[in-house]
Amino acid sequence: MPKVAEFNRIKNYVYNGEHRPPHIHAIHNEFEVLLEIETGEIYAGDLPTRQFKMVSDWLSGNTE
């Protein structure tokens, strides 16, 4: 599983060829959220609000 980014102890991964829709896994401590790459919507899981905002901002700035 390739790590595509890490910041503020949040690790972001993309699994090549995993199930649809295309998404990232953002992991912080015991939390993990899957975000759809195209929409930024939560596919599954949860992150604390502050960390979710950081990941969401990072995703929107890196998919355009």
Beta bridge pairs of residue 25: 13, 34
**What whole-number percentage of the chain has pLDDT above 70?**
94
pTM, two decimals, is 0.84
Per the document, the length of the chain is 64
Task: Please state the domain extents for the chain.
Answer: 3-61
**Tens digits of residue pLDDT in 28-49:** 999 999 999 889 999 899 999 9
The residue behind tokens 């890196």 is 62
